[in-house]
Amino acid sequence: MNDAKAGGMFLPRDREWQPNALAPDYKSSIKRSPKSKLLSFPTSLSEETSPIFGHDILGEFDHDLIVNYAKQGESAIGPRLLVHGTVRDEMGRPVPNALIEVWQANAGGRYRHKNEGYLAPLDPNFGGCGRVITADDGTYEFRTIQPGPYPWPNGPNSWRPAHIHFSIFGHGFAQRLITQMYFEGDTLIPLCPIVGALGSQDAVDILTAHLDMGRTIPMDMCAYRFDIVLRGAKQTYFENRSEGL
């Protein structure tokens, strides 16, 4: 590959839009934020390629956190939810075959983790992890329970709004992203210093899932819609690309 146009496939990341490394109100960021300027370069194959995850890695209940840790015939406690959306790139193109891994606290705001110390109880039927791979049209969906908000040792009285963590792989390692989904109407959102690391209300809004009555299943579960956007590839790359991938 000695064609110069093959390089720099992905649009540069908008670092003004993305959160700063240092967000002083989020105490953990103080000693963990690099001080020097990031070195910027165009993407090359090292970032334009990415591991492949086939649908064959998925187990039958990986997409269903309500039952994937539960004893036979039982299910997790909490309001039942369908979370769905579409993964697109910045150019608006759907991203198929994107692996999405999610994790969250239980309905009481307690994580199943050895470092977790919150006094709310564990739910014996809830593990808190799930994963899906987007369909050809970039859509995904999974079932879970509404996670609870919880206190955390940041300031003297800090609370996290209810949220679900998302880890996403696109088609280039340059698109690798971890983020969090919040819930429309949660009054803890504007108080949270992790949310506060975002530079604008627009950024907060993008991470806030909306109640979607159209997908709500009557007498079963409410639906929330959460769309995800990954870094975009320049048009020319796709035009020059062979088909069938």
Please identify every residue annotated as catalytic: 111, 150, 160, 163, 165
- Report the alpha-carbon angle 26-131-122, nearest 5: 65
Across 90-219, the runs of DSSP E, i.e. the strands, are 99-103, 129-133, 139-145, 150-152, 158-160, 163-168, 177-183, 208-211
54 is a contact residue toward another protein (CB under 8 A): no
d(CA 123, CA 131): 20
The alpha helices in 129-227, defined as continuous H runs, are 201-206
Q: Which of residues 59-118 bind another protein (CB under 8 A)?
A: 59, 62, 68-69, 88-92, 101-104, 111-116
Q: Which of residues 115-154 bind another protein (CB under 8 A)?
A: 115-116, 127-131
109 SS3 class? coil
Q: Which of residues 189-228 bind another protein (CB under 8 A)?
A: 194-195, 197-198, 202-203, 206-207, 228
C-beta of 72 vs 242, nearer to another protein: 242
Q: Which of residues 23-52 bind another protein (CB under 8 A)?
A: 23, 26-36, 38-52
d(CA 73, CA 68): 11
Lay out the site mask for another protein across 148-177 (x = CB under 8 A, - = otherwise).
-----------------x-x---xxxx-xx
C-beta of 29 vs 216, nearer to another protein: 29
